[in-house]
Amino acid sequence: MPSLDDLARAFAAVSSFQLLIGLLLAVAIVMLIADWRVSLLALAGQYILVAILLSTLIPLQIAAVRMIAGGLVATMFYITARRVKGSRRQRSPSDPPVLEEPIRSGVFWMNMPFRIIALALVALSVIALSGQFVLLNAPTLFWVTGLWLAMGGLVTIALTRDALKLGMGLLFFTSGFGIIYLSIDSSLLVYGLLVVSDLVIALAVSHIASVPAQMEGRRRGEL
């Protein structure tokens, strides 16, 4: 198991530019790609990058807590997604017909061109806001990445019909809010509340997403 020194060296090897590009890609992947596996990897990567970013504001061992929470969230979402997909594959011939998997896996009610337009509007809004407003003494990197995650999360929430994607949007929003707030006031109480809220959101979303699978199981006589 890596020590804190190993973790500190790994975090220090990541540049600000790499952090920015990684967080930009994480939001873009969740907004544009329907595959839950790819989106889940983007969510996990976002937690790691946010932990690296926050480690410049708060002690490393405390920043690493968010990365651990991200691992728990990703694990809950993975188990839920596998359960839901497995339930769909186990349908009997007598069950009512459902939409084909490629259609069910569609995340947004809009098609790809509109998703790209929405992503571009978010990017333009972040550029405009970061250029016009300076939030107290918040560093530019924190202000830009916080806005990007928060606004990208809100747009994802607005466009998705999938419970897991909705949860990812909420988690991106809390990450963005946390970056902006902690760059102004390094309150460990608020940081702890954000970590707890992420776990609560993940539990609630996992339960909501698994309800259809539980209902199908009851119809087949499962416990």
pLDDT tens-digit series, residues 50-78 = 999 998 888 888 888 999 999 999 999 99
Residue percentage of the chain with pLDDT more than 70: 79
> What pLDDT does 86 receive?
65
Q: Average pLDDT, stretch 40-50? A: 94
Maximum CA extent, the chain: 63
* Higher-scoring residue by pLDDT: 220, 134: 134
**pLDDT tier for residue 183 given thresholds of 50, 70 and 90:** confident
Q: Is the pLDDT of residue 26 over 70?
A: yes
Nearest to 168 by CA among 19, 23, 27: 27
Residue 154 has pLDDT above 90, yes or no: yes
Side-chain half-sphere exposure of 202, counting CA atoms within 13 A: 25
Per the CB < 8 A criterion, the answer to whether 184 and 135 are in contact is yes
Summarize pLDDT for 84-116 with one digit per residue, the tens. 876 655 554 444 444 444 444 444 444 678 888
Q: Count of CB atoms within 10 A of residue 98's CB?
A: 11
End-to-end, the C-alpha distance of the chain in Å comes to 39
Tally of domains in the chain: 1
What angle separates helix 36-54 from helix 163-184, to the nearest 10 degrees?
Answer: 10
Res 1: pLDDT? 61
Mean pLDDT of the chain: 82
Q: What is the pLDDT of residues 202-214, one digit of tens each?
A: 999 999 888 765 5
Containing structural domain, residue 152: 4-219
User: What's the pLDDT at 2?
Assistant: 65
> Residue 103 has what pLDDT?
45
Lowest mean pLDDT among 16-20, 123-127, 128-132: 128-132
Task: Considering only residues 184 and 79, tell me which one the structure prediction assigns the higher pLDDT.
Answer: 79
High-pLDDT (> 90) share of the chain, %: 43
